[in-house]
Amino acid sequence: MNELDIFSAAVELKTPEDRDQYLDQACGDNPALRQRIVSLLRSSNEAGSFIESPAQDVGTSITIDRPIAEGPGTVIGPYKLLQQIGEGGMGVVFMAEQAVPLQRTVALKIIKPGMDTRQVIARFEAERQAVAMMDHPNIAKVLDAGTTDSGRPYFVMELVKGIPITKYCDEKHLPLRARLELFTQVCQAVQHAHQKGIIHRDIKPTNVLVAEYDNHPIPKVIDFGVAKATAQKLTERTMFTEFGQVIGTVEYMSPEQAKFNQLDIDTRSDIYSLGVLLYELLAGSTPFEGKRLHEAAFDEMLRIIREEEPPKPSTRLSATDQLASIAASRGSEPKKLCGLIAGELDWVAMKALEKDRNRRFETASAFAADIQRYLDDEPVQACPPSAAYRLRKFARRNKAPLAAMAAVALALVLGLIVSAAGFVQANRERKLAQENEARARIEAAKATAASDFLEEMLSSANPDSSKGAAYTVRQLLDESSLRLRDQFNGEPEVEAAIRAAIGNAYRRLGLMEKAEPHLQKAIELRQHFLGSDHPDVAQSLIDHSFNGFESGSLAAAETESRQALAILQRRNVKDERTLRAFSMLILILREQRKLVEAEATGDQALAFANEAGLRDHREVAMILHNLVPLKIEAGDAAGAERLAVKAVAMNRRLNGNEHPETGWAVFHLGVAYAAQEKNDEAEKSFRETLTIFRKQYDESHESVIRTTQALQQVLTVKADNAGLAALSADRAARFSKALELHADDLNLRIGFLNSLREGGDLDGALAQFSKVIAVNPNMADAWGGRGQCYLTKGEFASAAEDFSQAITLNPQNSWYWHERAYCYLMLGQHEKSISDHSKSIELSDQDAGQRLRRGHSYRALGQLQKAEEDYSRAIELNPRHWESWYGRAQLYHQQHESEKAQHDLANAAKLASDPGAQNEIAWSLATDSDPSWRNPKLAVELAERAIAARPDDGMIWNTVGAARYRNGQWKAAIHALEKSLELQGDNGLDWFFLAMCHWQLGEKDVARKWYDQAVAWTDKNQPNDAQLRRFRAHAAELLVISQLESPLQPELTPDQAASANDSTNVSPATTDPEPETPNPKP
């Protein structure tokens, strides 16, 4: 026993005589140890409990025995204290507001003098870091820790405004089913913690709070590991705060905890405490009455917990004089309630409360599964598996078919089976107990070793270490990874669990390369020790495939997710692991554009969930919202919206309003709205998503980036320039705040610079990217970011050089190859463009855009068959990508396949929902140099749709004017062209078309005036613009102006024309300088 273990036991002893007797035994002949324990006991008596008095209702006054320096308005680190919500002898709890890098309200505990011993703080900080590795919607997170300016430690937690689960259930008069549904969520939260190597050791109602989100109750387990961290093992003074009472009791303590030596505690101790919680939810009291325990002497209290068998819940209910009120609080009648609990629920509760922990449920997940079996009216495993019992369950599920059975025959069959079952029952139970004991010992060893390793590896994060405040989780993982190599020789299962936890932590930080070796090693260890067909191997394959998915290695990720799913299906595993494998496979197939297969896999997943009784599982909620894009791709945007609404509601109920998965569900609802051009609704959804993600991540996180881009796209469609400017400014400001705290974080700085670029400050972003490159020339993302700036400015040669540097540093990033290929395409270097696009496709064949652009290069080189193959593949990858249909339509037109060309053109026009896309197609159909390609009627339709969405866009008004001119609507064309001039200012393009319109109306003098102005402006400003040269020739021919009167500049070579043409209102088919024949005057 160490010093803290001895102190924990001694502090519970009520008299000095008992303490002296215990210390004589525990300290032996070590007087120095005894003196330290006595000193600790003296400090404990002076300090009192962390919160001894109840937290007051918000807004009421709180009696403060000793004044403290902090109060509302005080700023501690990034936290501003709002109001005090609790106080005890050891600490004060405040509601606080965090401003940077995230905006959220938290609970902040400040430790008072007397508790800030080195050992206590080190262990608490180590536990906090371990808890920070957990991510579960039913676990309240420990968010942060630090020290005040005066050196006093503080801890920051998620603020849970809930009430204890038992109190909530009673106040809401929840029936047994609703209580059990809440309880299974608690079990899953505890299971998640156990998988991370964390043992709670203080599970009780006041540590399981229930809060309502959209009128749905969500339980939250709080104070994970706090009792362990503070060495308060046999004490009622647990560290707990909420907006209510402080209750700490021994009623929830497992028999193995009720010993002086608590070193032999494992996950099954939490199973016992969960059993007590279930008992209280069912019967309204704990297995051992608190009054009896507290009135007993200390040794007697421990003996009761260790040795006495409690009554079954139904027995306790039948004997209490409170039965009527207990039944009423459960919405039931007394007799009916006892009947519901007697039998199956008795068995389940009593299995969890076994004195011999080897006979309890192996895991919290197994506990939850048995409760779910009861809810689904299936046989519970806690019951002896007699044939009579199973037949009763079968009959209950199949009342109608069995109703006609003869009673005599049924009795005969039952009698025979019961007799046979009784003969083998003892052997079956003995074998099952042996198997359970072996498996439970392995699980306990894994969790205990994992917990010990986590505490050891995270001890460097304590306030006394020399690492400093800037010591990050990444540094912590890096150092721990080095220590891991030789620590678990001979313990492959434990090492595999630790490596999986570290690998997944790296992945969540976005460090996929660092995650890779740990996740791969976990697979190898489990395959070697467990065999290749074990469910734990499947879990490791899922983890590794997720990392591959995030890294862009989609083919390998697909293979692994399929392997995992096959293992789980062969082993008939019907729990969340199989759902997770389905979910992973759907994501990968969707990303690879294997849309039909992805949708079919989604259908299989939902069918499995129904069959396995998991239809209300959070993995199902995730699958639902991941199916939304598939519905959209299939052209069923309305169906996608219905699916997304269901997914959002389910995620809110199961995960709460602020969980990342809820954020993604709302995001996909926005996508469904946008696909139907419900832009206001889409904007609202994306803004809500952004709010959710910003509470979890900083601005450089992929989730925030994707949502910001989606919001920008909707605002662009709405032509909300003010909204776009405000979004960019807000994002830049958030990056600036984050950089104030993390000035040396180059990844964060690159995210900031990308936000500048997206906001239009290209020169500022270029200058800052250059500074980052000067500091760290080996950072590929810096070269890629600067290359993107050059590309946006149209400086394609400079952009290509920067992307070349990025490729040298990170040749496996397909995006760099893709962007350099685009630069070569725009420079007319088609062979280089094809080569780079081919490399990008080799690395990740998932982007329709790269196939489309390689098709453009093939078409430019006359390799039409290859171009058609690429355009067709692009359409297969994304059937809603209008540019792919449009590119193939142009190719078919070039090949004189008019029917195919018109079919693809119609699809392109239908899919072009963005005003920019509509404008581009309309311009080509109105002004192309090939009259047989033009379609004036469709051009007018598309241009007028675009201008309806963007009425202040001068460029689109110019297209409207050109389209109306081609359609013979001269006066309407003049109105549009004048509107364009009003918005854009003087330009030759509008004037040339105005000249032609007035000429068609017979207003020749006015036409000549506009023509002369256009010529003068063009010669001065854009003498080499290919489009202006073509329209000038067209107007001159219409106005019968000779070459002598209005000479054209020498014709440019195609390469010169391509490099000189800087107009953005152009499609690939509009660069032919040949003059065209005007439409005849109507």
DSSP three-state, residue 1002:
coil
Please check whether residue 69 lies inside any domain of the structure.
Answer: no
- Residue 248 has a pLDDT of 35
Task: Tell me: do 147 and 233 sit in the same domain.
Answer: yes
Same domain, 155 and 229: yes
**pLDDT attached to residue 201:** 82
305 and 344 both lie in a single domain:
yes
629 in a domain, yes or no? yes
Residues 747 and 832 in one domain: yes
**The pLDDT value given to residue 846:** 67
Are 692 and 769 in the same domain? no
Tell whether 959 and 817 lie within a shared domain. no
307 and 258 Cβ atoms separated by less than 8 Å: no
Containing H/E element for 92?
Answer: strand 91-98
Same domain, 135 and 233: yes
203 in a domain, yes or no? yes
Residue 927: inside a domain, yes or no?
yes
The CATH number linked to 235 is: 1.10.510.10
Are 877 and 847 in contact, with CB atoms under 8 Å apart? yes
Give the type of residue at 601. Answer: T
Q: How far apart are CA 815 and CA 822, in angstroms?
A: 11
The first and second tokens of residue 158, run together, are: 């998620």
Residue 558 near residue 589, CB atoms below 8 Å: yes
Residues in the chain predicted with pLDDT less than 50, given as ranges, are 46-66, 89, 225-248, 385-391, 393-395, 397-430, 455, 457-471, 743, 1043-1044, 1048-1082
835: in domain: yes
Residue 589 resides in a domain = no
340 and 200 in a common domain: yes
Q: Which of 844, 867, 883 is the last residue of a domain?
A: 844
Buried-state track 589-600, b at ≥16 Cβ within 10 A, e below 16: bbbbbbbeebbe
Domain shared by 695 and 757, yes or no: no
Asked if the structure places residue 560 within a domain, the reply is: no
CATH of residue 994 = 1.25.40.10
Whole-number Å distance between alpha carbons of 534 and 69: 57
**Number of independent structural domains in the chain:** 5
Q: Which domain holds residue 625?
A: 616-718
| pLDDT score of 686 | 94
- Burial of 979: CB neighbours in 10 Å, binned 0-12, 13-18, 19+: buried
The answer to whether the pTM exceeds 0.85 is: no
DSSP summary character for residue 381:
T
Terminal-residue alpha carbon distance, the chain? 103
Residue type, 748: L
Is 458 inside any structural domain? no
For residues 124 and 226, the answer to whether their CB atoms sit within 8 Å is yes
Let me know whether 1072 and 991 are in one domain. yes
The reply to whether 129 and 253 lie within a common domain is yes
Considering the domain architecture, whether residues 177 and 287 belong to the same structural domain is answered as yes
* The domain boundary residue, chosen from 382, 397, 412: 397
